[in-house]
Amino acid sequence: MDSSSLGALANLLKPPKEDGDSEDPPFYAYVQEIDTRPSPYINPGAIGPTSSATPAGVAKAKTVSKDIWGSEEVVSPQQHDYDDPRPEPEYEMVFRQAVGAEDVFLGMGIKNPTTASCEDQVVRIKLPSTQAKDIDLDITESYLDCRTPQWRLGLHLPHKVDSNSSKAKWVCDTNTLQVTLKLNREFDLINH
């Protein structure tokens, strides 16, 4: 790039001269000035995120919210507690579907071996040295939260579930919590 091209670029990028402005500074000083001062003109310094500082004489707009709590005060169960020292227990997730003779032997049904044909999702959580009364279980549409004094499991579910139709069963012999989640799919033509 030659010097005439740089001069043409500088003339293109500089804002129009206002009354009372002194002589133009050299090109290198002007480029530094664009980066450090707020400018009402569109220039390369306007590209990217805006700075949090507001120019002098411009008042910040206040946003009025009718929320009771701020977003920083509410802890969602889907947020992981990274400072929680409790380990994650062993668990397995399987899908279950009801099949009949027409599905298995005759091949006349419309069901297939994918999760799209499943009605339930079963999560088996092994909780050694735990009693059923110590378990705190919370299930939402897409998240399972299981907590005990020794263990903590936060599990994002791959499919939406109906938390009101879900069931949990404690198996004493193996210290396992078995949670059966009813899959909730819109426009499900297979499992109607």
User: Residue 5's pLDDT is what?
Assistant: 76
From residue 10, alpha-carbon distances to 13, 15, 19, 26 in Å are 5, 10, 20, 10
Determine how many CB atoms are found less than 10 A away from the CB of residue 70: 8
Q: What is the pLDDT along the chain (192 residues), one digit of tens a residue?
A: 667 777 777 777 776 566 655 555 554 444 444 444 455 556 666 666 665 555 555 555 566 777 777 766 665 555 566 677 889 999 999 998 877 777 777 767 677 777 777 889 999 999 999 999 999 999 998 899 999 999 999 999 988 899 888 999 999 999 999 999 998 877 665 555
Calpha distance 144→123 (Å, rounded) = 9
pLDDT of 125 reads 96
pLDDT given for residue 118 in this prediction: 82
Tell me the whole-structure pTM to 2 decimals: 0.55
Dihedral (Cα; 100, 102, 108, 114), 10-degree rounding: 30
CA angle 173, 176, 180 (to 5 degrees): 125
**Sole residue written with tokens 């310094």:** 45
CB neighbour list of residue 114: distance below 8 Å, 6 or more residues apart: none
CA nearest to 191, candidates 101, 98, 62: 98
Q: What is the pLDDT of residue 83?
A: 73
Task: State the pLDDT at residue 31.
Answer: 44
- Give the pLDDT of residue 105: 73
CATH number of 91-183: 2.60.40.790
Q: How far apart are CA 122 and CA 97, in angstroms?
A: 11
Q: Which residues pair with 143 in a beta bridge?
A: 156
What is the distance between the alpha carbons of residues 161 and 163, in angstroms, rounded to a whole number? 6
**Domains of the chain, residue spans:** 3-13+23-46, 91-183
Cα–Cα separations (whole angstroms), residue 125 to 29, 94, 113, 145: 66, 12, 24, 11
> Tokens for 82?
């990274």
Locate the DSSP E strands across 84-160.
91-96, 120-126, 136-139, 143-147, 152-156
| Pairwise CA distance, residues 119 & 32, whole Å | 64
